[in-house]
Structures are given as C-alpha cells and as structure tokens.
C-alpha cells in the first residue's frame, strides 16, 4: 500500500511507522526533488540527501525509481557505516509479493553475481598490498626527479627538453592511474585516508580537483555508456557516438558540426585537447562554482611547484611551451587508454539492466602483459574494474577467470582484445561513423525504422 503522505516525517526520523510499496509506486519517484531508491528491498527517500551525497548528487538520481542494491554494494567498501547514515532516509520496504529485482532482471544472475563477490572477498581479492602502491608512487616521483636532473645537468636544448617532456608526461599519466586508485577507495582501509591522499595525488601531483573527479567519474561507473547519465559520452555536440545517436541526430536534422567528417577531425580535437582544454576549463569552473577551495589550493600547489622547479632553467615562454607539450602527450595517452574499452562498445539510452549485464555491454578487456598493466594502470582489466570498483587493481587478474566463467554461464559476452586491436577499433569506429545516420545508405533505412519504432 502507498505511504507517500508521511515521507517527510520519515526522513527526519519522527515517525517510526513504515509502509510497504510496489515497484510501480517506487518507479513514480524519479524526478529531481522526488527521488526514491531501493536497496536490499528497503525503500529510501533520497530527495534531499542527494545534495549531501559524497559521491555527487547525480549518481543517486541515476538510480531513482530503481533497485540500486548492486551499485550500492559496488561503490561502498564500508557497508555497515553507510547503512547507518541511510537509516533516517528509510520510508519502508517492498511488498512481500514483489520481486527483489525490478524490470524483469534475471534474479538467478543477480544472485550468482552476489555470490561471486562474496567469494572474491573471502579469497582476499579486496585486500590491498600497500607495497604495490608505495612503489608506484615512488616510480612517479623518480620520473619527476630524473626529468629535473636532466635539465639541471644537460641544459635546456631541444633534444633534452623533448626527453624531459616525455618523462613528465609519463609521470603525469601514471599519477593519473594512482589518483584513480585512491578515488575509488581501493588503497587504504579507511575511506577518510583514501579521500585525503586522493586530494594530494590529484591536486598536488596532477593539478586537478578531487571533487570534480568524484562527481564526473562515479556517474560513468554507475551508468557506463548510457546517454544523459554517463558524462563520458556527453560530447557537447562535437561528436556523435554509438549507433543510436547518429541516427537520432539524422532524423532530427541536428548538425552543429559536419558529423559525417568527424572521423577526420576527431584525431585533431579529441585526444590532443581533452585534458589541456576541456578538462582544464571544467576543473577550474567546478572548483570555483562549487566552492571547492581546498581542491583549489592543492591544484595551485601543483602549478607553483612546477613553476619554481623549472623557471630557474627556462624563460617563462619556454617553460609554458614545455608544459603544454607534456599535457598534449598526456592527453593522448589518457584518451586512447580510457576509450579503447568503451567507445567501440554499445552506447545507448537507459535499458535498466542488471549490474553485470550493463557493465559487460559497455566495457571490454585488453590482454594482460606487464607492459599493458603498467601502461594502462591495470585498466586493461576494465571489466573487473567496472564490476568491482573498490577492488585493488593488482587483484583484477585473480577475479577475471571467475567473471568470465559467470558470463559464460549466462551467455553474457566477455570481450578481450589485443592492445593493437583495441587502438585499431577506435580508428575503425570513427571511420565507420561517417556511414551512420548522415549518408543515406541501406543501413540508414533500417536504423531509421528501428529508431522510430523505439520512440513509439
């Protein structure tokens, strides 16, 4: 039976009587200011809590009206603590006759995935090896020291400066993978320490914002490759992605840019400019507009450190040019590694799939090798990372065979590519987009028909 009339009292904890709800009732509460979620069959009104959620307000909103149990378990390493904070938000539970999963999800698959997580926890796959991360931090600092020593000893000639820029770009890329570890709370036992070190690594070593990263990246993990929910597929009308969006833009005659030529301009706009232009604007705008002053101080400390270290050898214009070249290379590194597992995969609107199925259609792995592990920050195990975001990355290889076996059992496609094949797929993907939706080939007619059918 419904119980919406007393939800405000339940949020404040002044009314101890709870109601039971059907999925139909829960699914009515999906709009901003009126959002309910279900976790472990319990119904929570998170309408006001979203503004205070440490992971950002949008990530909870993406699960409004849905069962968020699997996402809740995946993102929070200390579940008892989080459940304590959620008690004031509890307004009831699902009726006994209602299934635990919404929207016809495969209950057996969901249960088997839960059992797999418990097995991996029992096998120690969520336990961190501190030495691994200390050595990783050490090699980042070593690269920075070597770069500075090369300038000090060999001077500021073009060849030496080019070598220094490569070393700096390598250090920055590897620091990016390290901040990613702390941001996912996968290093320290305490979430507090993870957050503190995350601010240091992403701020002082990278010149970016922890708050900005949390808000953006957790949305990507919660709903990967889902339009309007994953910011990584929000291309600001510069590119169209997937098979659905080109057709949709073609039908609506949306043409902010010549998308039939994006396979040509992608390589001049996407990889080289994402970090130095788009991300930099976002980062500083986010810090100022949201009052993230601690993040801003850490970020400024990065630029002060580089300025003091290198302007004693370079004139300012040469220092700035070297910094831009380094960021340009880092941006390429970042885009190719992060997108090789996502962009060629399925990109679509919300389908309300279970956690395993949703992650597997949006991600793929790259074969393991010592170089691939280092080069990608173990994101060559993108499937395992997306399924278990709080798992320390040095344990992904242990989880992979179990995940593959579960996928085989339920017919879920588990993709693994070579590094060369993954990079080639990005090129092939952008090249093939010119024939999707903007030129009237045979495939367009069938896609147009399917698109219109979906709208009805």
- Nearest alpha carbon to residue 434 among 424, 423, 449, 444: 444
In the chain, the percentage of residues whose pLDDT exceeds 70 is: 90
- Nearest alpha carbon to residue 303 among 290, 316, 292: 316
In the chain, the percentage of residues whose pLDDT exceeds 90 is: 76
The pLDDT tens digits for 32-64 are: 899 999 999 999 999 998 888 888 889 999 999
Return the higher-pLDDT residue of 4 and 401.
401
Q: Which pLDDT value is given to residue 432?
A: 61
pLDDT bracket for residue 443 (50, 70, 90): very low
pLDDT bracket for residue 442 (50, 70, 90): very low
Gap between the Cα atoms of 273 and 261, Å rounded: 18
pLDDT bracket for residue 253 (50, 70, 90): confident
Q: Which pLDDT value is given to residue 12?
A: 38
Gap between the Cα atoms of 370 and 366, Å rounded: 12
Q: Which pLDDT value is given to residue 433?
A: 57
The pLDDT tens digits for 313-334 are: 999 999 999 999 999 999 999 9
Residue 37, helix vs strand vs coil: strand
Gap between the Cα atoms of 182 and 175, Å rounded: 11
Residue 15 has pLDDT above 80, yes or no: no
| 440, 445, 451, 456: CA torsion to nearest 10 | 130
The pLDDT tens digits for 117-174 are: 999 999 999 999 999 999 999 999 999 999 999 999 999 999 999 999 999 999 999 9
Q: Which residues of 159-198 are buried (b: 16+ CB within 10 A; e: fewer)?
A: eebebbbebbbbbbbbbbbbbbbbbbbbbbeebeebbebb
pLDDT bracket for residue 182 (50, 70, 90): very high
Q: Which pLDDT value is given to residue 7?
A: 42
Gap between the Cα atoms of 133 and 189, Å rounded: 13
Comparing 191-195, 307-311, 358-362, 445-449, the range with the smallest average pLDDT is 445-449
Structure letter (DSSP) for residue 418: -
Contact criterion met (CB below 8 Å) for 360 and 407:
yes
Q: How many residues would you count in the chain? A: 456
Q: Which pLDDT value is given to residue 9?
A: 40
Query: Where is 60: in which H helix or E strand?
Result: helix 57-61
Q: Which pLDDT value is given to residue 260?
A: 77
The pLDDT tens digits for 199-243 are: 999 999 999 999 999 999 999 999 999 999 999 998 777 888 888
* Residue 63 φ/ψ, nearest 5 degrees: -110, 10
Report CA Rg, the chain.
Answer: 23
- Which pTM value belongs to this model? 0.89
Q: Which pLDDT value is given to residue 434?
A: 55
Count Cβ atoms within 10 A of the Cβ of residue 199 and give its class: 0-12 exposed, 13-18 middle, 19 or more buried. buried
For the residues 71-75, what does the mean pLDDT come to? Answer: 95
Gap between the Cα atoms of 190 and 181, Å rounded: 13
Q: Which pLDDT value is given to residue 26?
A: 96
């Amino acid at each position: 039976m419904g119980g919406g009339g007393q939800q405000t009292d339940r949020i404040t904890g002044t009314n101890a009587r709870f109601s039971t709800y059907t999925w139909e009732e829960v699914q009515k509460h999906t709009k901003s200011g009126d959002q309910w979620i279900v976790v472990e069959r319990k119904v929570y009104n998170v309408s006001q809590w979203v503004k205070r959620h440490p992971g950002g307000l949008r990530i909870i909103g993406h699960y409004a009206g849905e069962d968020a149990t699997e996402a809740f378990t995946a993102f929070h390493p200390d579940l008892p603590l989080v459940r304590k904070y959620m008690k004031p938000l509890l307004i009831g539970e699902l009726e006994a006759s209602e299934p635990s999963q919404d929207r016809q999800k495969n209950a057996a698959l969901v249960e088997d995935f839960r059992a797999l997580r418990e097995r991996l926890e029992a096998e120690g796959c969520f336990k961190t090896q501190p030495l691994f991360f200390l050595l990783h931090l050490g090699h980042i600092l070593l690269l920075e020291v070597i770069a500075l020593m090369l300038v000090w000893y060999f001077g500021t000639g073009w060849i030496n400066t080019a070598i220094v820029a490569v070393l700096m770009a390598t250090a920055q890329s590897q620091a990016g993978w390290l901040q990613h570890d702390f941001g996912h709370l996968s290093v320290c036992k305490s979430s507090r320490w993870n957050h503190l070190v995350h601010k240091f690594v992403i701020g002082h070593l990278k010149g970016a914002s922890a708050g900005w990263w949390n808000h953006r990246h957790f949305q990507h993990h919660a709903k990967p490759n889902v339009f309007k929910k994953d910011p990584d597929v929000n291309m600001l009308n510069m590119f169209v992605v997937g098979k659905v969006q080109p057709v949709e833009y073609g039908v609506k005659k949306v043409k902010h840019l010549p998308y039939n030529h994006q396979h040509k301009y992608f390589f001049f706009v996407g990889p080289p400019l994402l970090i130095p232009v788009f991300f930099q604007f976002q980062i500083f705008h986010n810090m100022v507009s949201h009052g993230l002053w601690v993040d801003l101080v850490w970020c400024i400390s990065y630029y002060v450190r580089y300025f003091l270290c290198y302007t004693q050898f370079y004139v300012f214009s040469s220092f700035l040019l070297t910094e831009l070249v380094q960021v340009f290379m880092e941006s390429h590194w970042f885009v190719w590694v992060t997108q090789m597992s996502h962009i060629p995969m399925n990109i679509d609107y919300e389908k309300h799939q279970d956690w395993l199925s949703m992650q597997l259609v949006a991600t793929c792995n790259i074969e393991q090798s010592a170089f691939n592990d280092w080069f990608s920050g173990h994101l060559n195990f993108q499937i395992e990372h997306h399924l278990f975001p709080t798992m320390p990355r040095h344990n992904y290889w242990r989880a992979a065979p179990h995940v593959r076996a579960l996928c085989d059992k339920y017919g879920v496609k588990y993709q693994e590519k070579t590094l060369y094949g993954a990079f080639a797929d990005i090129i092939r993907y952008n090249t093939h987009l010119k024939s999707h939706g903007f030129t009237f080939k045979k495939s367009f007619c069938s896609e147009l028909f399917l698109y219109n059918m979906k709208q009805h």
